[in-house]
Amino acid sequence: MGAKFPSLEYEENYALLYLQLGEAVYLHQPDSALVYFERSAKSCEQLLQKTKSETKNIKSIYANACNNTGYISKMQGDIPKALSCFTAAEKIFLEI
* Res 53: pLDDT: 64
d(CA 82, CA 48): 22
| Helix H or strand E segment including 55 | none
* Res 8: pLDDT: 66
Entry pTM: 0.87
d(CA 69, CA 2): 37
Q: Using one digit for the tens of pLDDT, what is the confidence trace for 15-61? A: 999 999 999 999 999 999 999 999 999 999 999 988 866 688 999 99
Cβ atoms within 10 A of the Cβ of 12, count? 19
